Amino acid sequence: MNEWHETEIRVRYAETDKMGIVHHSNYLVWFELGRSEFCRARGFSYKEMEEKDNALMVVAEVYCRYKSPAHYDDSIKIRTKVGEVRSRSVRFIYEVYRPSDQVLLCEGETLHLVTDANKKVRSMPEVYKKMLLSEESEDANAFPSNKAPS
């Protein structure tokens, strides 16, 4: 559970205020983006989990601490990892930082309850629990990140 997944984005003009500073609400959207990409890197999507297995991850808690502002056109990275997986919930941990100067912009957590389509709390399907706790899977068509093509 100590492995971070990184998602890189560029701050869009629409995400900023008149001064070019990112509005605080966008960090929660970025958490969702990081979480979705984390799941894809582990081999599944939210859509698959919802449609195939009737398991939805409903946000029950959000924590966000702002450290430094992000600005229009900054390239930023969203780091995401699993904090804990329980029978009916999962906690994700996030860091948002600017690689150009290594400044931590924000850190946070989200807690998700697993429900069915009727919003009744249910157990996390074992297959997703295993994938959430596994190491990041390599894309079969990509070169491993630590090796150059030969």
User: If you search the block for the tokens 């190491």, which residue do you land on?
Assistant: 135
Q: Which of 17, 73, 116, 139 is catalytic?
A: 17
Element (DSSP H or E) covering residue 54: none
The pair of structure tokens assigned to 136 is 């990041």
Q: Describe the strand order of the beta sheet including 89-98 as a list of residue ranges.
A: 5-10, 75-85, 89-98, 103-115, 56-66
> Which residues have C-beta within 8 Å of that of residue 13, sequence separation ≥ 6?
72
> Which residues have C-beta within 8 Å of that of residue 38, sequence separation ≥ 6?
5, 7, 80, 81, 82, 92
Q: How far apart, in whole angstroms, are the C-alpha atoms of residue 25 and residue 36?
A: 18
User: If you search the block for the tokens 């990112």, which residue do you land on?
Assistant: 22
The answer to whether residue 53 is catalytic is no
Active site residues: 17
